[in-house]
Copies of this chain bind each other. A is one copy, B any other.
Amino acid sequence: MAQAIRLHQVKSPLKASCQQCSLSNLCLPLAIEDNDLERLEDIVQQGRIFNRGEHIFDQSTQFRSCFAVKSGSVKTSIITEGGEEQVTGFFMPGELIGLDSMSGDHYACTAKALERTSVCEFPVEKLEDLTGKIPGLQHHMYHLMSQEIQNSHQLTMLLSKNTAEERIAALLLSLSSRFQRRRMSGTNFSLPMPRNDIANFLGLAVETVSRVFTRFQNQGIIKARGREVELLDVEALQMVTRDFSRQGCQ
């Protein structure tokens, strides 16, 4: 569990170029002006690297910054006093971590690199200054936070209304579309997280996750060997997730 907390100030060699970043339209507003972008670049610390298992921050860390994932992937989770863990999200390149922590002086969750991961750091103090000056950026922050709330509500719904199969199908499809957005294969990818984290995130036991994977495989919907996954029948997966929203109606 406990890993090195790497928050030392590696002054990034590159005062970086958000412009050149292929992910910029994900973590930044599309309509941002060039000179505004420069101001953002002024406050960003780029290129922080974390190895698999390393904490980007945890709940005992003073809240200081939000982080955008550049490459790799991150899992966030809440750990109770009892030591129980609840995974609250998986973050892929272009996604912003730490929005849930902007109301306290410590981080509200723990963020751990699932693989070798690089992130950009946005010191909140400077970020708040800047969003106060650039309306488009402020709007974007509201947008992102709002989105985060919606995502969480989606998860709530998944947990409260859906079967194990539906939850897993939904996760696979979510990952698929997020890979696709990065112009990677949406049908053939490698899960960045172990079964354990999937189970925890979806409110299931590991064994159940495993069983559903093999069931899907036997039905010819997916092919899975370890973390390598191939979606053989995306439509079938979509059917699985949708069936539940049907039954309420009619």
Contacts and interface: CB of A to CB of B under 8 A. Distances in A.
Contacts of A155: 152, 156
Given A84-B161, A150-B103, A128 B138 contact: yes
A142 B139 contact: no
A169 to B, nearest CB: 16
A30 interface: no
Interface string A61-103: 0000000000000000010111111101000000000011111
Contacts of A80: 157, 245, 248
Interface string A222-250: 00000000000000000000001111111
Q: Is the interface of A mostly helix, strand, loop or mixed?
A: helix
User: How many identical subunits does the complex contain?
Assistant: 2
A196 to B, nearest CB: 14
Q: How many A residues are at the interface, by size bracket?
A: 35 or more
A145 interface: yes
A149 interface: yes
B131 A138 contact: yes
B248 A146 contact: no
Contacts of A135: 128-129, 132
A250 B81 CA distance: 11
A160 B208 CA distance: 14
B245 A153 contact: no
Contacts of A53: none
Interface in A133-183: 133, 135, 138-139, 141-150, 152-153, 155-157, 159-161
A123 interface: no
Nearest to A85: B248
A149 B245 contact: no
Contact of A149 (B99, B159, B249): B99
A82 B142 contact: no
18 contacts: A78-B157, A81-B249, A82-B246, A82-B247, A82-B249, A86-B160, A99-B146, A103-B144, A103-B150, A131-B132, A142-B145, A145-B145, A149-B149, A149-B152, A152-B152, A152-B155, A156-B203, A159-B159
Interface of A: 78, 80-86, 88, 99-104, 108-109, 128-129, 131-133, 135, 138-139, 141-150, 152-153, 155-157, 159-161, 200, 202-203, 244-250
